[in-house]
A and B are shown apart, each in its own frame.
Chain A
Amino acid sequence: MTATWAWLVLLFPLLGSLTIGLTFKALPDRTAGLIGVAAIVAAFVCGVLALIGLQGEPSESRHVASSLWEYANVGGLKIDLGIYVDPLSIFMVLVVTGVSSLIHIYSYSYMKSDQGYHRFFSYLNFFVFSMLVLVLAGNFVMLIVGWALVGFASYALISYWYRRNTATKAGMKAFVINVIGDIGLYIAAILIFKNLGSVDYGTVFEKAPEVFSTNQWEIVAICLCLLVGAFAKSAQMPFHTWLADAMEGPTPVSSLIHAATMVTAGVYLIARCHTLFELAPTAADVAAFVGLATLLIAGTIALAVTDLKRIIAYSTMSQIGYMFVGVGIGAYSAGMFHLMTHAFFKALLFMAAGSIISAMANMQDIDKMKGFRKAMPFTAATLIIGALALSGFPGMSGWFSKDEIIDFAHFRRGMYDWMWVGMLIGALMTAIYSFRIIFRILPGPACEEAQYLIDKGHVIHGEPKNPATNEVEDTEVGYPGEEHHIAEQAGGMKFAMAILAFLSIVAGVLQIPGVDEVVTKFLEPTFENSVFAHMHPSTGEAWLGLTEGGLISIAGIAIAWLLYIKRPDLPGKFRQRFSAIHTLCVNKWYGDELVDFLVTNPVKAVGRFCNRVFERFAIDGATAGVAGLTRSAGAAVRDIQSGMLRGYALLMLFGILAIAVYFLIRSL
């Protein structure tokens, strides 16, 4: 029964996407949005029913593998079109469908005046379907299928406003980097099949400990290849450059795909393959250290850039860095718990940002925003709740989840203490940049757009411009529509944001150390054979960690208050004093330039070299040679074609005579 519900979870979003995509011409006005919302809500309900079915089983048999049909059966490779339902995949299904439902409801209002409304919902449902394939996959091949479909959905939605040059380029960049990750995953799947003779999750995880010894090079290679895929999808160093550019997509897309769900796929992958990573502790440490580096670097960038959505995007990278550290050092349930709370408050932050960007007529620069507290009280409140949860303010959901990861690093001692220190610094930066947003755009005298909203009661309609390049653009299909919608005036947006705000505040009660620890207990069947599953900091240590985290968060907020409210001249002075560091951060640590230098330019140089040498010389030479030969041969015999009928007749006579003479001589 559980498996049936899980299949239905997959079915509804696919049906929704196809229905909208194929019948959009016949659909009246806003039906596409309703169908989209209904499909995802239905998937969520099925997810809950699957959860109930699964919880009804005894804890040791809480996993179901189900297969619709055989996908391929060649040369010992047997691939089923199968799903694997266990607490981990159900956890992901609930997070994905739950947050997606809310974001669909939000989009129903937010995208109202966009000319591509149907296309948007068709893509969005397709994304949810792909993501569900990814998390429910029963073997590595289905995982790759979901992985690639998700990459495509992300590409389609980043480039959703396809007549914006910046958007199409950002889409391509995301797609190319994701495909590099896909290749890592392919190689990993091939290596797994070569060494274990199967790609099925159940068989692989069962046989791996028998076949491999700890840190044997094959298993390390497999895990590193898996990590390439995980890093690319989750925007970790050095594959992080695409995520900030992905903010060219509509804000609900940033909220759903590039914050709450898709970018956490890498975390899910590591948690899913924890058996393999525990056999290759080196690879697990690589994951943790890359996560640490990403969270620190992304934090510094978020402190420097001024584009509202990009600040939140870098904060996403940084938070996913925490999750990578979590699943890398063995704090699986803490990592997954942080994934969930992060999905809530980051989706909320993006929704609030989308509302503010609407009010600013698509401008995204926080230098231009001021005084939105009075103009948009509801959005301001949700923004503050999101920022509090993000910075780990005591009592909020982020406080419980993030500090659990930090605490576990400290608990493992040794070199992990360095991670502990790094993550605490990261937490301080998180608090500062979250409240940098709050303190810069909410208080103070209202800016022009906010004042307009207060005076006139509706959103200013500025000239439609591309916020990245300031190019004026028309408002037909492929551009954002002329009208904008803010949460204060759109019921759907308000509803979704209110629920997420509520969850951001209270989701922490699921996992209070020493009290309930619902998430850990729920995920236990998945991680029960893990060596880390039964290692816990004691309740006292956990609370000590939480206190530390809470203090750091309050300190960070205080620093932000000092910098942006009390002494607003200080940031400018810092910028002048440390202009080199500031330039480094504003330019995103030159990540793009580094990729250009290391990959793009060498490849281009090789291309130019091949163009000059092979193409000009070998290929052009060969074709020109053949053409010249034909031409000169033609010139040589052209004169025979005189057009003189009588000449032809004479030639024919000689020819026939010659043949006749030849045969006569032969017959003699």
Chain B
Amino acid sequence: MDIEWYIVLSALLFTVGFIGVLVRRNPVVVLLCLELMLSAGALSLLAFSRMLGNQDGQVFVLIVLVVAACEVVVGLGLVVAMYRRRLPLDVDEMKELKG
């Protein structure tokens, strides 16, 4: 199989994820979409790794996965905290944080 297919799939996944981040307001879904973007990046890393025949890309992917897991922990923690305080689960409503 040609490398192009992997890259196209990765780009598609990334775009889907990014559009999800832009259009959805539920923080859980936003987190999901972020994960999708990370996975897209990981996919292209793997593809290139196979193409070049060395293992550097694979190592990168492992690191990305670990970082993604951490990020999810923090993100979901925030979501749980919002839920506990009976705050609306809506990223636009949280703009007072000026993040």
**A and B: real partners?**
yes
Of the residues B18, B23, B92, contact of A644 by C-beta under 8 Å: B92
A249 smallest CB distance to B (angstroms): 64
A264 smallest CB distance to B (angstroms): 74
Residues of A within 8 A of B53 (CB): none
**CB-nearest residue of chain B to A643:** B95
Q: Does B4 contact A (CB under 8 A)?
A: no
**CB-nearest residue of chain A to B92:** A644
CA–CA, A642 and B99, complex, Å: 9
A126 smallest CB distance to B (angstroms): 61
Question: Which A residues, 604 to 654, have Cβ-Cβ distances below 8 Å to chain B?
Answer: 641-646, 648-650, 653
B88 smallest CB distance to A (angstroms): 14
Residues of A within 8 A of B18 (CB): 649, 653
B6 smallest CB distance to A (angstroms): 19
Of the residues B22, B23, B30, B98, contact of A641 by C-beta under 8 Å: B98
Contact of B98 with A646 in the complex, beta carbons under 8 Å:
no
CA–CA, A649 and B37, complex, Å: 13
CA–CA, A364 and B85, complex, Å: 78
Contact of A643 with B99 in the complex, beta carbons under 8 Å:
yes
Contact of A646 with B97 in the complex, beta carbons under 8 Å:
no
Of the residues A641, A642, A645, A650, contact of B91 by C-beta under 8 Å: A645
Question: Which B residues, 72 to 99, have Cβ-Cβ distances below 8 Å to chain A?
Answer: 91-92, 94-99
CA–CA, A644 and B94, complex, Å: 8
Residues of B within 8 A of A642 (CB): 95, 98
- Interchain pairs with CB closer than 8 A, number: 30
Contact of A649 with B99 in the complex, beta carbons under 8 Å:
no
Q: Does B47 contact A (CB under 8 A)?
A: no
CA–CA, A644 and B96, complex, Å: 9
B24 smallest CB distance to A (angstroms): 9
A655 smallest CB distance to B (angstroms): 13
Contact of B94 with A645 in the complex, beta carbons under 8 Å:
yes
Contact of B98 with A643 in the complex, beta carbons under 8 Å:
yes
Of the residues B21, B22, B23, B96, contact of A643 by C-beta under 8 Å: B96
B37 smallest CB distance to A (angstroms): 10
Decide if the interface of chain B is mainly helix, strand, loop or mixed: helix
Contact of B21 with A646 in the complex, beta carbons under 8 Å:
yes
A573 smallest CB distance to B (angstroms): 89
CA–CA, A645 and B26, complex, Å: 12
User: Digit string of B24-41 for contact with A (CB within 8 Å is 1, else 0)?
Assistant: 010000100000000000
B82 smallest CB distance to A (angstroms): 13
User: Digit string of A161-200 for contact with B (CB within 8 Å is 1, else 0)?
Assistant: 0000000000000000000000000000000000000000
A652 smallest CB distance to B (angstroms): 10
CA–CA, A644 and B30, complex, Å: 13
Of the residues A643, A649, A653, contact of B97 by C-beta under 8 Å: A643
Residues of A within 8 A of B22 (CB): 646, 649-650, 653
Residues of B within 8 A of A644 (CB): 92, 95
CA–CA, A159 and B70, complex, Å: 68
Residues of B within 8 A of A646 (CB): 21-23, 25, 91-92
Residues of A within 8 A of B21 (CB): 646, 649
**CB-nearest residue of chain A to B23:** A646
**CB-nearest residue of chain B to A641:** B98
B14 smallest CB distance to A (angstroms): 11
CA–CA, A581 and B91, complex, Å: 91
Residues of A within 8 A of B30 (CB): 645
**CB-nearest residue of chain A to B34:** A649
CA–CA, A651 and B18, complex, Å: 12
CA–CA, A648 and B99, complex, Å: 9
Residues of B within 8 A of A643 (CB): 94-99
**CB-nearest residue of chain A to B97:** A643
Residues of A within 8 A of B98 (CB): 641-643
Q: Could you say which of A641, A643, A648 has the most chain B C-beta atoms within 10 Å of its C-beta? A: A643
Residues of A within 8 A of B94 (CB): 643, 645
A659 smallest CB distance to B (angstroms): 16
CA–CA, A572 and B99, complex, Å: 88
CA–CA, A649 and B91, complex, Å: 12
CA–CA, A646 and B18, complex, Å: 10
Residues of A within 8 A of B25 (CB): 646
Q: Could you say which of A641, A642, A649 has the most chain B C-beta atoms within 10 Å of its C-beta? A: A649
Residues of chain A whose beta carbon lies under 8 Å from any beta carbon of chain B? 641-646, 648-650, 653
Residues of chain B whose beta carbon lies under 8 Å from any beta carbon of chain A? 18, 21-23, 25, 30, 91-92, 94-99
Q: Could you list 7 A-B pairs, sorted by A, with CB under 8 Å?
A: A641-B98, A642-B95, A643-B97, A645-B30, A646-B22, A646-B91, A653-B22
- With A643-B99, A646-B91, A649-B22 known, 4 other A-B pairs at CB within 8 A are A643-B97, A646-B22, A648-B99, A649-B21
| 8 cross-chain pairs, A with B, having the tightest CB-CB distances, nearest first | A643-B95, A643-B98, A645-B91, A649-B21, A644-B95, A646-B22, A641-B98, A649-B22
